[in-house]
Chains A and B, each alone.
Chain A
């Protein structure tokens, strides 16, 4: 039971990271209707920028951990958001009204560009950092000596995710920008007739998605203590799987899907085999889609003739 509780905690933490990335996928899909294949690499760039900022701050003699974390978070969000904006501007905007597969391939190309850009710029080797946040709390000590641990970093990941989600939900539901986004999602032509700047709204969607991916990248760096240029691919696929599992286009769905994928992966590794954890996640995706073709919380697609 204790073992299960520990795995549950680990799974939820991993799921939070996936969920943060998945929101970027689902938002872009909802508004532009394309799979942003470069989003996983945006997450990777976010991790790298967090790492570099962290190194610079430490070498300047900054020791207050909360201050460092805050600066790293803001810098990484800002620069990564600019990456998201640039990618949209270069690779997707010219193809806005093109046929469906063109932006997707352009996105795959952009993903190759970002992966190899960071490989060329920062080298192919894995970059490890010493644990930045240490310590934790013992929740429960079982009679057999098994200890359920909740580390500080896990608390930070979950709290950051919850805060960001709340902020983000508020942004979408009650600000001007959120209203524009929802309008563009429903009908871009109509929205532009009513005075919504569609181009700007779509750009902002990419910017917000990239900023959330940067947070996920930073959390990944803190939690696992390493980044490498190839981590965007696997994390991107998992997050996209999460978005589809939850019903693509639905924001709560993306978070739910992320948590589920995180839990499935962790529990499968704990009880069955580590090697097949990804196979398990993908298989469950396929099984769910057989019975619910639009995901868990997705709206059924209305077919217009």
Chain B
């Protein structure tokens, strides 16, 4: 609904206003970038620090900010004031809702077909595996953050525990991937419970810092416990996965020889693709099933109101611990998969950056929406890959995208979610009504 015309004209600022705003922005940019961009420091050949000026770059940056500010202001005027409610015609609305219902099945079928469609494009297959790994991590963390409302900033710790469990068990004791996979999950879940105990009484941001500290502790221990983990050099020579004992190698006992087809290294990539797809779907299936069980409902109740939860006789201790353990277990599975796919792991792969990325996927996905998490993972990882050519600017663009996406959709891509329990009719609830939990 648009505002009355009189109000709109008074609200639409003139050219002078836009120019003034752009000038202020340019001035701020000039001060901000004056030393950081205008002057470049580096150690000279004699190790002495020298500097030289780059006023051209500085001028270009300030001009960009000036132009960008004008464009932004014009866009804002064209879009109308914040909070304008746009009426969507019913025909478009019904098409949209139909499309919304079709997205998940279409996406699933497409994912199944990816190895067939892009059999010869190794790059796309690798990217697909990467995206699916993050989908799985996102779904795993979703149990902790999206369902139970416990803010976890150290999720990468469980990913690391899973990866190192498989890597060390396989290289030291020669255990196969299929034996190690459940073990990695169990060990990660165990660490999840271990983290869960001290944080039971903590809420909100105290929980955030403790989980963050926990993630850092795990990483630092991995770096420094050189006799076990190899320290910063990591673990090399991690065995590749087998199809239940049949290796995917060119040898006589390999899968290709058994099936009587010509060996190709792509077989292994396709196998890995379906393996992570199966693991991710398992995560999704378990989560959906758990949501219908008493424990899943207890998680969601805990997210909405912990005091009411306790008043209703829900044991918050076990509820929190199971949430941590379940989320950690899926992280452990994903870690074991990561180790077997890479064949080499080092502490470099398990930094806070990964935790932040997975958390961003969950929040951008809409906190609790399974489809949303998958779409967010696709958007974040796929988008990140698009900027591969930009090399050093990649992280800069990634950070900016994170800020802009949050401002654009603070509630995530999928703003609605289906209720787990309903009285008479199943209505989608706007996520504005869903609480984020206090830890």
Contacts and interface: CB of A to CB of B under 8 A. Distances in A.
A289 B392 contact: no
Interface in A15-50: 29, 35, 45, 48-49
Given A56-B51, A116-B399, A120-B396, A29 B43 contact: no
B201 A55 contact: no
Given A95-B410, A122-B36, A35 B208 contact: yes
A109 B34 contact: no
Interface residues of B, number: 64
Contacts of A29: 205
Contacts of B411: 98-99, 102
B310 to A, nearest CB: 10
Interface of B: 28, 31-37, 39-43, 47, 49-51, 151, 198-199, 201-206, 208-210, 212-214, 216-217, 220-221, 223-224, 305, 307-308, 352-353, 356, 359-360, 363-364, 367, 392-393, 395-396, 398-403, 406-407, 410-411, 436
B399 A125 contact: no
Contact of A45 (B36, B206, B307, B403): B36
A236 B213 CA distance: 12
A262 to B, nearest CB: 16
A113 interface: yes
Interface residues of A, number: 72
Nearest to B224: A275
A241 B215 CA distance: 13
A131 interface: no
A286 B214 contact: yes
A9 to B, nearest CB: 26
Given A112-B402, A129-B49, A278-B220, A95 B407 contact: yes
A83 B32 contact: yes
17 contacts: A52-B41, A52-B51, A79-B31, A101-B436, A102-B363, A105-B402, A106-B406, A109-B398, A112-B395, A114-B399, A240-B209, A286-B213, A287-B198, A289-B199, A290-B198, A293-B202, A301-B203
Interface stretch (A86-94, A146-154, A171-179): A86-94
B37 A121 contact: yes
Interface centre among A45, A99, A100 (most CB of B within 10 A): A99
B42 A109 contact: no
A189 interface: no
Contact of A106 (B50, B203, B392, B407): B407
Given A52-B41, A237-B216, A278-B220, A120 B393 contact: yes
A264 interface: no
A116 B392 contact: yes
A295 B201 CA distance: 12
Given A121-B40, A279-B217, A286-B213, A49 B392 contact: no
B96 to A, nearest CB: 24
Contacts of A111: 399
Contacts of B307: 303, 305
B363 A35 contact: no
A183 interface: no
A294 interface: yes
B412 to A, nearest CB: 9
B51 A109 contact: no
B403 A110 contact: yes
